[in-house]
Structure 1
Amino acid sequence: MITLIVGKKGSGKTKKLIENANEAAQKSNGNVVVIEKGLKLTYDLSHQVRLIDSDAYGIQGADALLGFISGICAGNYDLTDIFVDSTLKIIGHDMKALVQFTEKMNALSTQADTRISLLVSASKEELPEEISSFSVQI
């Protein structure tokens, strides 16, 4: 299952991510992963959450992020939740690429039986129509 957490900069998306990730870590019988650009959330997340800096692994672009997340899923059968902060910064500010990426993440989520949440810095009105079928939190 894919969830999009959308809103303009300063709208509270990261706070929502922190709450959701910490809650998932408490309830999960498996592993919770947060992927972000930089390590700003180090002290906000529970020690049970695996925090990964996308910059440390040179992840740039939708295909690189998809491959990285696929590798995480392939190497960890106990993975229950993945949260991706700053999705548009990592894949590029291209809404068409976001649509394709979201569709691929949805397929991966089903295959790996993992919940995936993507934070998108855009208003709901800016999102392409193709994304409206996914669960959107504001």
Structure 2
Amino acid sequence: MITFITGKKGSGKTKKLIERANAAVAASNGNVVVVEKGLKLTYDVDHAARLVDIEAYGIKGADALFGFISGICAGNYDVTDILVDSTLKIMGPDLQQLVPFAEKMSALAAMANTNITFLISADNAEIPDEVRKFVNEI
């Protein structure tokens, strides 16, 4: 299952991500991965979660992000949850990219039996209709 947490900058999305990551660590019998741009969540997310600084890998664009997350799932079958902060900073600002991206990510999440959450810095009204079923608005 995939989820897009949407809201304008400063609306509390990152706080929600931290809460979800820590809850996932507490409930998971596998691994929880938090993908972030920079190392700003080091002291907020439970140490049992794997923090990944995506900037260290040069990932830019929707296809690169999809490939990166696919690699995480392929490299460790015990990943139960993946949470991605700053999604649009990684993918780029074009919200229409979310349509094919959501389709591919939803299929990957189902195949890998992994919950994947993305933080999207945009108002819910700006999100394309085709992906609203994945939206959890702040």
Q: Does the alignment reach a TM-score above 0.5?
A: yes
Identity %: 67
Q: Match for residue 132 of structure 1? A: 132
Look up the match of 1:73.
73
Query: Residue 110 of structure 1 corresponds to which residue in structure 2?
Result: 110
Q: Deviations over 1:101-120 (max 9, x none)?
A: 11111110000000000100
CA shift digits 1:51-100 (9 cap, x unpaired):
00010000000111100000000010110000010101100001111221
Decide whether the 8 Å contact of 2:124 with 2:137 is kept in 1: no
Amino acid paired to 2:104: K
**Structure 2 unmatched runs, 5+:** none
One-letter identity of the residue aligned with 1:47: H
Give the CA deviation at 1:135: 4.2
The code of the aligned residue for 1:21 comes to: A
> What is the 5 A alignment of 1:17-96?
17-96=17-96
Structure 1 letter corresponding to 2:109: S
- Give the residue type in structure 2 aligned to 1:133: K
Aligned to 1:15: 15
Q: CA deviation at 1:133?
A: 1.9
Cα RMSD for the two superposed structures: 0.8
Q: How many correspondences in the alignment?
A: 138
Paired letter, 2:85: D
CA distance 1:135–1:7, change in 2 (3 Å): closer
Supply the distance in 2 between the matched residues of 1:2 and 1:135 (Cα, whole angstroms): 9
Structure 1 runs (4+) deviating above 3 angstroms are: none
Is the partner of 1:24 in helix, strand or coil? Answer: helix
- State TM-score, norm by structure 1: 0.97
Q: Secondary structure of 1:48's partner?
A: coil
TM-score by length of 2: 0.97
Corresponding residue of 1:123? 123
